[in-house]
Chain A
Amino acid sequence: MKKNLTICRALDICKTYWRGKVAVEALRGVTIEIKTNDYISIMGASGSGKSTLIHILSCLDTPTSGEYYLEDKLVSSYTDLELAKVRNTFFGFVFQSFSLLPRLTATENVALPLIYAAVSKKERVRKARKILEKIGLGDRMNHRPNEMSGGECQRVAIARALVNDPKVIFADEPTGNLDSRTGAEIMDIFDKLVAEGNTVVMVTHDSTVASHASKTVRLRDGMIQNE
């Protein structure tokens, strides 16, 4: 993969939530760029707007104002269908709370994005298994989330984020629900992914976690803090 090609460019992003008549300005003009093979950590206190930012960057949410470009194409011009396709093939997302479907097995959970990419069942299973093997869950293929530990669940979630070969992997406090040893194992996986050429953007409020990244962005009250 070529280095230093800009994938995402967010300019002066603002996001305002409305709680009844009270406006909550979660983001107040954030500008950020993601290049290939970046390893970015986003830090900040609780409520500083980290999740809001990463949701907008991963096209799970839309900004109130500001411009967001994906490979030089303005995201606000995308249709619902195109946005779904972006989420499906362009990005992978790892949530703090794993967010697996409880009734599906590990393999089925990992294969979920492939369903929406119209991949055949045989190919879905093959790909899902390959990634589960790689991530060290070869013996958990047919387990359901409630039959696995937190660390295992988070690895399934990472496998799901990887299954469509995304350009950027986003993770919102992926170690937040794990003990420190398991958290460290998860961080090893991200380190490896970056070493293999992947691009990772990770939210955390833990500085040891952030220290894995090559670049750290600090948020405070919805704005980037310059040191």
Chain B
Amino acid sequence: MNDLWLKVSLSLQTFKTHRLRSFLTALGIIIGVSTVIAILSLIEGLNRSVAEQIQSIGSDLVFLSKSPIVMAGPRNIEEIANRPDLTPEDAEAINQLPSVDVAIPEISQQLTKLKYRDKEVASVRVIGSAENFSKVNNRFVESGRDFTRDDVTHRRALCIIGSYVAKNIFPEGSPVGKELNVRGHRLKIIGVFREKGAFLGQSMDNMLVMPYTFFEKIFPRGESVIERAFFGYSVDIKPKTGQSEKTIDEVRELMRRRHGLSFDKKDDFEIGTQQMLMEIYQNITRVGFIAIVAIAAISLVVGGIGIMNIMLVSVAERTREIGIRKAVGASNQNILSQFLVESVFLALIGGVIGIMFGLILAWLISVVSPLKASVSLWMVILGFGFSAAVGIFFGIYPARRAAGLNPIEALRYE
């Protein structure tokens, strides 16, 4: 222990005498470690907020749709377009299934602009749904009232707006009771949803919901292949607690029956879960993760070669010193560990600076952008571990070279 401390203090001395050189040497490691820490903490922050968001949508929802949630690989759009449409009646039938708590039909469109007098909001998601929309989507009507069954069956021109829309076009006073004009139709605002925050940097409150019966009147269905494939009803299903597996089976069986599919035919609909959404998301971030590992590996190798280079210079410069130490009784092992401690020390300094730099970088990014950073202890430990490993790996060759010097040859060296 005493011995190690001695070597560390010796390394510190070398570091002090060659401040600039040591810093430049450690630069590769600094860059490597700081990028990794910054990106990892951003990914971690993203993971966390995505997990939270997905949770907040509703704990274990099951989605039924005509087209797949994510188009993985080439798909025949024609085939999807020719599938039977899902209907509000399907949602009603699913609603009756024993494992299902509530099921609602949902259909949506993006509205480029929503105007009210001199105010406007862009890219509003307009949704047509039914009376249980809030319950299924974990939403809460903060002021005004929620939809009733009658609103839907009587095709009433009503809507509930998201808090983003409310704030932007009704900065003061309550929007409840006001009328909005959507594509030439006047819709009375009956309520405002409580704020939900952003998902992947996108506000979840820039939305408007109306009875699907009225939605059909405003947005007639086009006949193009794309529209038939992707624009239509889906069904959001909230299973009874702990029964989502059962729900998936029941929904599949019901829909196959309703679509008259014989046992040898494939499903002509898609069933997804939040779990699957999460997995899709994780697959996306995994790609990012691999990219970082590659960046890190490259910069650590570059940093490591820098360390090896400077250690070789250091061995050459200190040949006489090595000779003297050996002449007075230093063993090969003593010299080896002295130089190894030094290269690890150098790498660790790079690591520490890199970690600090990375944290500052992550913090800066989370201040100026909607991304959130989340730092965990394991990242810091990883940063330390990696730089120490680089120090050992790239330090071993110069250290062995120093240890193997013949004392007399070394003493003769000028």
CB <8 Å contact, B332 and A80: yes
In the assembled complex, how far is the CB of residue B326 from the closest CB belonging to chain A, in whole angstroms? 7
Q: In the complex, which of the residues B17, B328, B333, B411 contacts A87, with contact meaning CB atoms closer than 8 Å?
A: B328
Judged by DSSP, the binding face of B is helix
CB <8 Å contact, A84 and B331: yes
For the complex, is B112 an interface residue (Cβ under 8 Å from A)?
A: no
For the complex, is B406 an interface residue (Cβ under 8 Å from A)?
A: yes
A112-B325, A115-B6, A120-B2 given as contacts; is B332 within 8 A of A103 (CB)?
no
Q: How many Å lie between the Cα of A80 and that of B405 in the bound state?
A: 12
Residues of chain A lying within 8 A (CB to CB) of residue B320: 99
CB <8 Å contact, A101 and B324: yes
A101-B321, A118-B3, A121-B2 given as contacts; is B328 within 8 A of A112 (CB)?
yes
CB <8 Å contact, B407 and A60: yes
For the complex, is A89 an interface residue (Cβ under 8 Å from B)?
A: yes
Cβ contacts A29-45/B at 8 Å (1 or 0 each): 00000000000000000
CB <8 Å contact, B326 and A99: no
CB <8 Å contact, B329 and A87: yes
Residues of chain A lying within 8 A (CB to CB) of residue B329: 84-85, 87-89, 113, 116-117, 164
Q: How many Å lie between the Cα of A117 and that of B325 in the bound state?
A: 12
How many residues of chain A have a CB within 8 Å of chain B? 26
In the assembled complex, how far is the CB of residue A198 from the closest CB belonging to chain B, in whole angstroms? 17
Q: How many Å lie between the Cα of A93 and that of B325 in the bound state?
A: 12
For the complex, is A24 an interface residue (Cβ under 8 Å from B)?
A: no
For the complex, is B261 an interface residue (Cβ under 8 Å from A)?
A: no
Q: How many Å lie between the Cα of A160 and that of B407 in the bound state?
A: 17
Q: In the complex, which of the residues B3, B321, B331, B411 contacts A95, with contact meaning CB atoms closer than 8 Å?
A: B411
For B17, the closest partner residue in chain A by CB is A103
For the complex, is B138 an interface residue (Cβ under 8 Å from A)?
A: no
Residues of chain B lying within 8 A (CB to CB) of residue A23: none
Residues of chain A lying within 8 A (CB to CB) of residue B408: 55, 60-61
In the assembled complex, how far is the CB of residue B317 from the closest CB belonging to chain A, in whole angstroms? 12
Residues of chain A lying within 8 A (CB to CB) of residue B324: 99-101, 112
Residues of chain A lying within 8 A (CB to CB) of residue B332: 80-81, 84
Q: In the complex, which of the residues A55, A89, A116, A164 contacts B334, with contact meaning CB atoms closer than 8 Å?
A: A116
Q: How many Å lie between the Cα of A103 and that of B324 in the bound state?
A: 13
Which of A60, A81, A85 is the most central at the interface, judged by chain B CB atoms within 10 Å of its CB?
Answer: A60
Q: How many Å lie between the Cα of A103 and that of B326 in the bound state?
A: 17
For the complex, is B330 an interface residue (Cβ under 8 Å from A)?
A: yes
Residues of chain B lying within 8 A (CB to CB) of residue A84: 326, 329-332, 334
Cβ contacts B313-342/A at 8 Å (1 or 0 each): 000000011011111111111100000000
Cβ contacts B397-414/A at 8 Å (1 or 0 each): 000000000111001000
Q: How many Å lie between the Cα of A101 and that of B411 in the bound state?
A: 12
Q: How many Å lie between the Cα of A120 and that of B3 in the bound state?
A: 9
Residues of chain B lying within 8 A (CB to CB) of residue A115: 3, 6
22 A-B residue pairs with Cβ-Cβ distance under 8 Å, sorted by A, are: A55-B408, A60-B408, A61-B407, A61-B408, A80-B332, A81-B331, A84-B329, A84-B330, A84-B334, A87-B326, A87-B407, A88-B330, A93-B327, A100-B324, A101-B321, A103-B17, A112-B324, A115-B3, A116-B329, A116-B330, A116-B334, A164-B329
